[in-house]
Chain A
Amino acid sequence: MPPEAGVAGLPAARRRMPPWVATAALLLPSYAWLTLAVLLPLAAMFAFSFLHATPLGNKPVVWTLEQYRAFYDQPYLLGVAWASLSIGLWTTGICAVVGFAAALALVRATAGRARETLLILVLLPFWTNGLVRVFSWTMVIREGGFLDTFVRWFWPSAPSLGFLYTTPAIVLGLVHGYLPYMVLTCYIALLSIDEAVIEAAQSLGARWWTVLFKILVPLAAPGLVTGAILIFVPVIGAFMEPRILGGRVGVTMGTVIEDQFTQAFNWPLGSALAFTMLAVVLAVFATFSGVLRRSAAT
């Protein structure tokens, strides 16, 4: 029997559906769920941000743009925004340096079982409860905590090194939580670099720092940028770490927004601040997308 006979023999009812039907059928569940669980609440929040006050009880619904003037009306928010930004920059910067170094060590100096084990150890912070992770740091860095105890084994009269309730403490907690993103994105970027490219640089006279800054860092730039975005965006909105590790200094955009919802009960202001931050984050994305596309092309 010739091969085409089988195709021709198919019942006419089983005509091929246009390809978009299958695509739509596969996408529908997840987009329906996203609409229900993310887009609708987000739209409600967006609507709230134009209200004068939280619409509870018998309060009349008054539409206004005043919430978006918050940074103008309450100048202290600028300071808070700056604090969030600098925490974000410090955290991202430290993660970039430490994460890149760790990824480089994993790619260049390990193999097989040892590499698998080390990768799992890198991922550990992901699998521990965030609250436990952050609280355990308070035990370590408070005055008279584990850090002080450890130092005083060697130097009994040492002054306290405890730095709980400072900005570095917040950054420490955030770096601990978000470092795995940077290690993983850099690891993948470094893994794809041909060993011969590094050897070629060495054969042309490059020492290790030239190889690092002229070859490895530029070639791993997509990994660094992706990691930086994955870290920076959630970090500037973080509120748990600033609250627990920052104490009095831990006032960030994250905590201010959280306060509007849970303490001040000013949902419209909270939503307006949140959407302002979303706009800033999207601007950051728009700035970096060009860089990402360019490095993806090489």
Chain B
Amino acid sequence: MSGVDVTAVAKSYGATKVLTDITQSFESSSFTSLLGPSGSGKTTLLRIIAGFVAPDEGAVRIAGADVTGVPVHARNIGMVFQSYALFPHMSVAANVGFGLGRRGIRGKVAKAQVDEALEMVRLPGFGGRYPRQLSGGQQQRVALARAIVIRPDVLLLDEPLSALDRRLRQEMQVELLRIQRESGLTTIFVTHDQEEALTLSDKVAILDRGRIVQMGRPAEVYERPRTKFAAEFLGDANFLTGKIRGNTVEIAGATIATQDALPADGTSVTVAVRPEKIAIRPADSAGNDALENRLPATVSSVIYTGTALTYMLRTGDLHLKVFAQNSDGSPLAAGSAVVLSWAARHSVMVEG
């Protein structure tokens, strides 16, 4: 059974189309990230699932029931906001118990569940404090406890970690993942932080201008991006555009091998290659690797970051980027002639 099903959902504000024909299933107990730049519609999609925004078209089903016309308070959802949105006039215990009270759970039973939820977010004994007495990270934990204590059908997270500093964010990522695994809640997580999305999710959905351009396991989406946008937004990518000849792609004098199924001869296609997949060596050294693709290039500049090196290269009119480990401590100088090589399976055909 699916946790959340979105069918043919569309939303416009005036003439601006925010979402176009979104159809997507979010599996029960899975952790899905909605990843996209601002304005891609990811928050709108989350708010449509929550019920704060009514879609112009389409339907939303939560735990099998059609909730398209159901108001927010009657959907069994847990939501965590970027601003924490704790009730400032209530104690932590009253905050966490708020949703239980709305469900008629009060007294000892409620207190036990509140304590259990606070235990889960590692804030036992904080019930008597007020939100203003807590740090940002602690407030976000309370917000999480408040959302999960009601055992929602779906947990919706609207950039919950973006207000925290870097170290706290990493700590909370680990916590969030543990809590999600322990509770088994279907979770939909909106973020614009690609690393966060890759680390946390079972599935990543990439949104671009109101459409989900690709959804899949993090490794799948990262290794086999379907569009130029997906390749560029999630990680870095070099794009090589050329024409099909036989089973290779011809690019400015070189031929590029790929394992993807190719369209007919003469069609213009774009191939994406991740910068860390490319091996770099001086042109005069012997190449004895078994990599199918070879491309001579010139180093334009090197960015030295200690553990790693980023080479900016040029071949003809083409600009390329290569990530290399700083394994021998002597980076190639700008201007050196080099040979780039990579495996055929790392040339991924992408749509414009």
Contacts and interface: CB of A to CB of B under 8 A. Distances in A.
Interface of A: 194, 196-197, 199-207, 210, 214-215, 218-219, 295, 297-298
Nearest to A193: B88
A204 B76 CA distance: 8
B257 to A, nearest CB: 52
16 contacts: A196-B81, A197-B86, A199-B52, A200-B85, A200-B143, A200-B146, A201-B98, A202-B71, A202-B72, A203-B72, A203-B78, A204-B150, A205-B73, A206-B98, A214-B98, A298-B132
Contacts of A206: 73, 98, 102
Contacts of A194: 83, 85
A199 B79 contact: yes
A90 B321 CA distance: 76
Nearest to B80: A200
Given A200-B87, A203-B77, 19 more contacts: A199-B81, A199-B85, A200-B85, A200-B86, A200-B143, A200-B146, A201-B87, A202-B71, A202-B72, A203-B78, A203-B156, A204-B102, A204-B147, A205-B76, A205-B150, A206-B98, A214-B98, A218-B89, A219-B88
Contacts, number: 67
B132 A203 contact: no
Nearest to B158: A196
A297 B131 CA distance: 12
Given A204-B98, A205-B103, A207-B73, A219 B89 contact: yes
B130 interface: yes
A112 to B, nearest CB: 15
B240 interface: no
Contacts of A202: 52, 71-73
Nearest to A295: B89
B55 interface: no
B234 interface: no
Nearest to B50: A203
Interface string B34-69: 000000000000000010100000000000000000
Nearest to B104: A205
Given A203-B77, A204-B150, A210-B102, A196 B130 contact: no
B99 interface: yes
B51 to A, nearest CB: 8
A218 B89 CA distance: 7
Contacts of B85: 194, 196-197, 199-200
Nearest to B97: A204
Nearest to B146: A204
Contacts of B81: 196, 199-200
